[in-house]
Amino acid sequence: IGRNEQLRDISSIGLKTVINELPLTTQSLAASVCKTMVGRLTRAIAQDECQDVSVQLEALDILGDLLSRFGGLLIQFHPSLQEALTPQLKSPRLAVRKRSVIALGHLVMSCDQALYTKLISLLLAELESSSSSTLNKRTYIQAVGALCRQAGHRFGDHVERVVPLVLEYAKEEDDELREHCLQDCENMILKCGKEITPHIPAILSLCLEYICYDPNYNYDEADEGTKTWSWILMRRNTPEMTLKMNTRTMMTCPGRSDARQPSV
């Protein structure tokens, strides 16, 4: 956390190596090392904007590794970690937001139900707020997807609240936001099959709407600017997700005699 950049880089590599090499069988040693790290990492993450952002990024990286391997040994620190990480979702720096999402995903793998519910409620409250910017919506939609992917069946209790938001934001004129919404749908289908089943028709309709876009077709000038590379990515992802939905629910995808196979 010092000001010498070279020493910071070396120290960061050293800490990551220690975390990766600590044996899982000696939990007392691992717990001691992890507890020594977590306090200073939390302070580095919650630093003021006037400080060097590279310190914050390295701390987020190290914390993600720490929670991924030894999150269960840090239960007493989970509330303070959540309080340090959630404000970073509004950071003006994309790298900080992305690494915070990753760290929160690792956190929910081992946190208790109360903290998990608090975190998901905070994210959904931000998404339901009319004052949230498009940038924040992207981040929070992405964070919801990360929590669903890592928490698995625990996310099922929140599907009824999440799906309407995801379907609503998928209609906005923002390709990146649409793509995150489709990824959220895929995560819920994979992790919360029972709870998502009533919403399969709506998700299927959304997928079919975006899968019809052909990047090889010369659209009208009015369509330019909205059909970007993200649309091609969505076309690549939606056939696979549609197949997963059909397999899970034993549904048959509606077809047309003149339909073509999507080409990417």
* Per-residue pLDDT, 240: 58
* Per-residue pLDDT, 149: 93
* Per-residue pLDDT, 237: 55
* Per-residue pLDDT, 260: 44
* Per-residue pLDDT, 219: 55
CATH number of 119-255+260-264: 1.25.10
Distance in angstroms (rounded) separating the CA atoms of residues 208 and 38: 46
* Per-residue pLDDT, 117: 94
* Per-residue pLDDT, 46: 85
* Per-residue pLDDT, 101: 96
* Per-residue pLDDT, 263: 44
Residues in the chain: 264
- Identity at 108, one-letter amino acid code: V
* Per-residue pLDDT, 52: 75
* Per-residue pLDDT, 231: 46
* Per-residue pLDDT, 166: 95
What residue ranges of the chain have pLDDT lower than 50?
Answer: 49-50, 215, 222, 224-233, 250-264
* Cα angle 155, 161, 162; round to 5: 65
